[in-house]
Amino acid sequence: MSYKIGIIGAMEIEVESLKKEMTVTRTLTKANMEFNEGKLGNSEVVVVKSGICKVNAALCVQILVDDFKVTHVINTGAAGSLDAKIDIGDFVVSTDAVYHDVDATIFGYKKGEIPQTGCREFTADSWMVENIKKAAETAGITGKLWDGRVCSGDQFISDNSVKDSIKKEFDGLCCEMEGCGIAQACFLNNIPFVILRAISDKADGSDIMDYPEFEKKAAKDCAALTEAFIKAI
């Protein structure tokens, strides 16, 4: 099977190293996003900075599907840890994704469930998850790789009480601001996806002064693991 993989990062630091490593054959700007199509190793890819938050992320997926006919999508970037065992510098690969900020419980829905859809969790592609795990063994990364749930919402989580509430409700491993938007858009288009996140903070406001440096390293490490995954398949 031939693959064409859309690689989405929310910020420039999450995609710049990937763009440097690929051979770009076409560039398209649409919805204020620059799509870079070409090859990374022997694989066809489209690398794009979506911008932050769920709407940007979902729009980005739709353009990848409509204009570039991607077969798979990977979301790479930084995230905050929701679990004490997951440290800054570790990685989370998604088994599924949920919205932590969707709440229609007053109508009898579960917290996080999208009304009238029957959807609360969006399941990542098992083949992509397993191959990221294999790539991690040879990518030269130092952090541990964990697999589990990614929780997304239009909030930067920096308060322990909010963090604990999300952890208690959804039992996720990390929180960020795009993954589930990407997951839902992929689900609606029947496109396999995976979310790969490097941990940049503890989602509790600690070490916030050092966050820019942690974020930069997390983005670089996550891109390196993404590149190893792409080149290995």
> For residue 202, what pLDDT is reported?
81
Which pLDDT score is estimated for 12?
86
Place of tokens 């040879």: 138
Single pTM value for the model: 0.93
Catalytic residue annotation: 14, 201
Residue 162 structural domain: 4-232
Radius of gyration of the chain (CA): 16
Read off the pLDDT band of 8 (50, 70, 90). Answer: very high
> What was the pLDDT predicted at 46?
98
Reported as a pLDDT band with limits 50, 70 and 90, residue 207 is low
CATH of the domain at 210: 3.40.50.1580
What is the pLDDT averaged over residues 186-200? 95
Give residue-wise pLDDT tens across range 32-65. Answer: 999 999 999 899 999 999 999 999 999 999 999 9
Per-residue pLDDT of 111-124, as tens digits, reads: 999 999 989 999 99
- 65/89: higher pLDDT: 65
- The more confidently predicted of residues 131 and 140 is 131
From 179-183, 212-216, 218-222, the region with the lowest mean pLDDT: 212-216
Q: Which helix (H) or strand (E) holds 26?
A: strand 23-30
Number of domains in the chain: 1
Mean pLDDT of 103-112: 96
Backbone angles phi, psi at 91, to 5 degrees: -125, 150
Tell the burial category of 144 from Cβ atoms under 10 Å away from its Cβ (0-12, 13-18, 19+): middle
